[in-house]
Structures are given as C-alpha cells and as structure tokens.
Amino acid sequence: MAKIGLVTVLFKSDDVLDGFFKSVSKQTHKDYILYLVDNSVNERSNKVIADCLTKYPVTAYNHIKNADNVGVAKGNNIGIKQALEDGCSHVLILNNDIEIEQETAFSSQLLLSEKGEQIIVPKIYYPDRTIWMAGGEMVKWRALGTHYGYNKPDSEEYNVPKYITYAPTCYMLVNASVFEKVGMMDEKYFAYYDDTDFVYRSCEAGCQLYYDPSVTIIHKVSHSSGGDSSFYIYYSNRNKLYFIRKNFSGFLKYFAIGYTFFTRIFYWLRFNKDQKKKLVQALKEGMVYPV
C-alpha cells in the first residue's frame, strides 16, 4: 500500500487549522504521515495544533519546529526530505488554508498514480464555490502560470480530466520518483514562484501534470487577497525575474524580461511611494540575483 507524506508549511495558520485537520482526519486512506513544518512556532499555535489533533486524530504526524521563518520553499523541502527518508512513496504538498471535500481523495488519486500519473492536482474552489483553479497553463512569454476557470462559476467544461502545464502547490500529489528526477524546491525563492519553478522544471523533465476534477478543494482565500503588500510586491517581482533568468534562454528570455519591465510601469503608476520603492528594489535585485 502506498504511503503518503503530507507536507504543509505553517506560518500564523491558527485560524484555518481546524478545517484542515478535519478534512485530513476523515480520509479513508490511513497510511500517511502529516508533516507540520512550523515557521511561526509559539505557545498559542502549539495549543491549537494539540486541540485539533484531539478533535481530529490523524494516523501519524511530525511537528517540525523551525527556529525562524525559513520561507515556503525551504519549509516544503524540510518536509519533503523527511517524508522521503521515512519511506513515503508519495508526497502530498498542501496549503493549510484548504479543506478537502471527498473522504476518498487520497485513495482515488493514488489509483491514478498507480496508472502512471506522476503529479496530480484537483479542482480548487473559493469558499463561495466559484473556481480558483481548474487546471492551468504556463505562459512562457509572460513567465506566468494562469488558472483555468479563475473567478468563474463551475461548469461541465471544468470537469474534464487532462494534462496541464501549470498548477500551484496548494494540493499536489507527487510521486517520490519525481524528486529524484527533478530535485527539490529552489530555496532561493523564499516565497512566490517556488511552485511555478518546480512545476516548470518537472514538465520540462517529462513529468506530466494531471488535472483530476473528481477531487475538489476549498481554498480559504479572498478574491482580492495578495496584490499590494510590500512583501508580495518585492518577492513576486524579484522572483519573476529570477525565474526567467534561471529557466529561459535566447529570445524568450529577453522578451519575457522586457515584457515584465513594460507591464510594471502600470503597477508603478498606481502604487504609493513606499510601494514604488519596493517595486524598484525588486526589479533591480531580480536582475542580479545569483542564478
């Protein structure tokens, strides 16, 4: 029987953990270890985790407490490496602001893996059940992964299983052999684009990404979240340029860099003074960040 390492990185996650633990606990496939890689260790979080484990027992877990916030990419790597050392045949990379709707999600996707699918992702909804992601595509010239169905009502067109070229790692079942072929997450990203880079490298190496709409996830994120925080402005823009310089070459590389700088003009025009400063810093550092 396949053994899954469930890897999730915690950072000030207390408010979402109840639903996360509940959906993991109800899974019919019980051969798993839950790796809680904690980047924000504190007494309150420890109590929240203990309470969740009491209410929603899991088969096995490992609470890995980092001394500092090491970032999403390194946090995932810590959990992935431990799962592989513990003999897991699959790694399920998870956000903890999600809830898995089907009790048979693990078992049904393991069946797909037995048939040869190497990386499997589900359909993901916002809490109001509009679509957050129903598969996706890597648009190279924009250096951007796009979500099929984003912000749209669900419909039959999003119920078709298929191979895709992009998905975020909110819920991604990965055969252990993929890490042997592709390697780990690139820790230089810290946050943002680390999953884009991993998926891109996997697809380039011939590891196909399969969209399985029979499994559905609720992602507790606001339609308007993200965008204009200094943290997001800096890391998303710096890492976009790093991603391009690392993975592309020739005309595609320079076109994608030029497109990025051109489109940032429109962001700069609407940003306040501090946001503009952070954007300029990100663009400068993205062009010299060691590849």
Q: Is the pLDDT of residue 79 over 60?
A: yes
Mean pLDDT computed over 182-207: 97
Whether residue 193 contacts residue 145, with contact meaning beta carbons closer than 8 Å, is answered with: no
Q: Is the pLDDT of residue 92 over 50?
A: yes
Q: Output the pTM of the full model.
A: 0.95
What distances in angstroms separate CA 95 from CA 92, 118, 147, 220, one per listed residue?
Answer: 10, 20, 17, 10
Residue-level length of the chain: 291
User: What are residue 173's DSSP bridge partners?
Assistant: 92, 120
Mean pLDDT computed over 242-246: 98
Q: What percent of the chain lies above the pLDDT cut of 90?
A: 96
Q: Using DSSP, state whether 118 is helix, strand or coil.
A: coil
Whether residue 120 contacts residue 212, with contact meaning beta carbons closer than 8 Å, is answered with: yes
Q: Is the pLDDT of residue 224 over 50?
A: no
What domains appear along the chain, each with residue ranges and CATH number?
Answer: 4-219 (3.90.550.60), 230-288 (no CATH)
pLDDT at site 242? 98
Average pLDDT of the chain, as a whole number: 96
Whether residue 171 contacts residue 93, with contact meaning beta carbons closer than 8 Å, is answered with: yes
**What residues have CB less than 8 Å from 204, skipping those under 6 apart?**
247
Mean pLDDT computed over 117-122: 98
Beta strands in the chain (DSSP E): 4-10, 32-38, 61-65, 90-94, 98-100, 119-125, 131-133, 136-139, 144-147, 162-164, 171-175, 209-219
Q: Is the pLDDT of residue 99 over 50?
A: yes
Terminal-to-terminal C-alpha distance of the chain: 40
DSSP 14: G
What distances in angstroms separate CA 53 from CA 17, 20, 164, 279, one per listed residue?
Answer: 10, 11, 35, 42
Alpha-carbon gap, residue 112 to 53, rounded angstroms: 29
Locate 15 and state its tokens: 């408010």
Q: Using DSSP, state whether 57 is helix, strand or coil.
A: coil
What distances in angstroms separate CA 265 from CA 137, 238, 276, 281, one per listed residue?
Answer: 25, 15, 10, 14
Residue 222 pLDDT class (50, 70, 90 cuts): low
Q: Is the pLDDT of residue 58 over 90?
A: yes
pLDDT at site 227? 59
Which residue has 């819920």 as its token pair? Answer: 171
Whether residue 66 contacts residue 37, with contact meaning beta carbons closer than 8 Å, is answered with: yes
Mean pLDDT computed over 264-286: 97
